[in-house]
Structure 1
Amino acid sequence: MYPQVAPQRGYARYLYRRRGTFHFRIKIPQDLLQAIPSPELIKSLKTKDRKLAQTEVNPYVQETQEVFTLLRIGVLSPTQAQERLYTILQRKTASELLLRLWKSLLL
C-alpha cells in the first residue's frame, strides 16, 4: 500500500520551501483556469523561518481565496481578478515592512 501522509493543517499546505526560503503557492482552481491564465500563483515570503512563514502566508491565502469567490459569483471580471491578484502578490510581507520601519528608525 501507499504510505500514509498526515494532512497539513491550516495554511501550511500553501507553503513550500525553495533553496531554503519559504514561498506562498496556491493552485488556481480548475473552474477558474480560463479566467486566470496561470495554473498557480507563487510569492516569496523572504524568510527561512517556518513559524514566521506560517504567519506571513495567512493574508495571501485569505485574499486570494476572496478573489476566487468574487470571480465565481460574478462580482469581479477576469481582468479585475487578475489585477487584484497581481496587487496581492506585489505587496510586501509584514516582516519586510517591519524591517524597513526598523531601519528607518535607526537612521
Structure 2
Amino acid sequence: MSTQPKINWDGTEDEGRKMKRREKNRVAAQKSRKRQMLRADQLHEACEYLEQKNRKLRKEVDSLSEEQRLLSEALCSHEACCPIMHCSFSLQQDNSASLSH
C-alpha cells in the first residue's frame, strides 16, 4: 500500500482519502497523548511511593540513632562502676595462663 496521497489531475488530494488520513492521524495523536498521560501517572505514583518510603526510613534512622545514643550513655555510666571493666586485665592474664597449662 502506498503512503503517498493520491493527487487528482487538478493537484488536489481526493477528499475521502484526506479525511481518512486526518482521522487516522487524530486517533494516533489521541493514543500518543493517552500513553504519555499513563506514563506520567505511573511516574507520579512511583515518586509518591518512594517519598513515603524515604520518610519512613528517615524516621527509622532517627529512632535507631536515638537508641544508640541512649545505649552509649548507659554504657558510659555503667563503666565507672563495673567490676569486670576494672579487672579485665587480670582476667585476660588468668585466661592466657590457664590456656598455656
Same fold (TM over 0.5): no
More helix by share: 2
The TM-score normalised by the length of structure 2 is 0.26
User: Which protein, 1 or 2, shows the higher relative CO under an 8 Å CA cutoff with sep ≥ 6?
Assistant: 1
Structure number, greater radius of gyration: 2
